[in-house]
Amino acid sequence: MAKFKIDHTVKSEHPDSRLDVFIKNLGVRVSRTRIISMIESGVAKVNGKKEKPSYKVKKGDRIEVEYEALVQTDVKPEEIPLDIIYEDDDIIVINKDKDMVVHPAKGNRDGTLVNALLHHTQIEGGSKERPGVVHRLDKDTSGVMVFAKNEDSHAFLSGEIEKRRVKRTYLTLVWGSFTRKRGTVNAPIGRSNSNRKIMAVTNINSRDALTDYKVLHDFKIASLLKVNLQTGRTHQIRVHMSHIEHPVVGDGEYDRNVLSVVKEVQLDRKKHFEYIDKLMDRQALHSVALRFVHPRTKEEVEFFAPLPEDFMRALNYLWAIEKEKK
């Protein structure tokens, strides 16, 4: 468990500044509730003595704090490059690469985003296996995601997600053409009865799941969608798109309806199907924007991640096909 120490001498007057608030502002990255407990137990001292959390800090006071990170993790820090969009004392926003797993799990202990984050910065919120994690992206889904760097941020952001206040926007390429240009898929998701490793639309041991989509461009053989999640179920977009018979391009797990979709495409366009599939060696799903309330400032912030090269190659090929037909 990581141990941290602060030894600070107050250099100026701080009228009406409570000890618990002052320690929080020194950069002790734990919750205020835990700071109060540390003061009351004498772990945090003023001039070598135990004081009350309400003690008014004065110029010349020496404040000493020794504490351990609450999360006991055995995840190994690894020096892995990160595409950092934004970072402060409370959060870090990452543009996740398509090939990276978010956190360690059975059979996959190394090379994850969490391994990389623990090498880059101090993480003190979350669980033992998932320090800092408040939401996830599938291994082959790219794009923007946020991690919490301390207990308060983790609790706040997890609560915002639970209350469905975080807006997650994705771009995806799916097979087929749409008659309706926007819609909402409202279908519960749970473990598949035939294959427990994947998810499915089912009423058995499932949770509600809602996905809003808008068709940005219809290429006939495939369509570019903007998708917003109202809920955050495992593989939600991929399962819902497959359910409405528009599986995500390049998705090897939820593409059972691909053949039926392709059969509806004009004969002269079918030759392009396999090439488009090869251009995307993973599901064509990208987290393009993330909007949420910052845990400290309580102001709404939004972050974006540009489309990766493989996604752009597939899009450019579809544009070229369309241009040929005009």
* 289 or 152: which leads in pLDDT: 289
Does residue 77 carry a pLDDT above 90? no
Catalytic residue among 20, 61, 138, 251: 138
CB atoms within 10 A of CB 273: 18
By the 8 A CB rule, do 17 and 10 touch?
A: no
Residue 2 has pLDDT above 70, yes or no: no
As a whole number of angstroms, the distance between CA 151 and CA 138 comes to: 24
Residue 101: pLDDT over 70: yes
Calculate the average pLDDT of the chain.
87
pLDDT tens per residue across span 260-287: 555 555 545 667 777 888 888 899 999 9
- Mean of the pLDDT values across residues 299-324? 93
Give the residue carrying structure tokens 């623990």.
118
| Contact by Cβ (8 Å): 67, 3 | yes
In angstroms, what is the C-alpha Rg of the chain?
24
pLDDT at 267: 47
Sequence letter at residue 313 = R
Residue 104's pLDDT is what? Answer: 77
Catalytic annotation present for 268: no
pLDDT of residue 258: 61
| Contact by Cβ (8 Å): 40, 61 | no
Torsion angle of alpha carbons 132, 133, 139, 143, nearest 10°?
A: -90
Q: Please name each of the domains of the chain with its CATH number.
A: 3-68 (3.10.290.10), 84-325 (3.30.2350.10)
The residue ranking higher by pLDDT, 215 or 33, is 215
Q: What mean pLDDT comes out for the span 217-230?
A: 94
pTM: 0.78
Residues 173 and 222 sit within 8 Å (Cβ to Cβ): yes
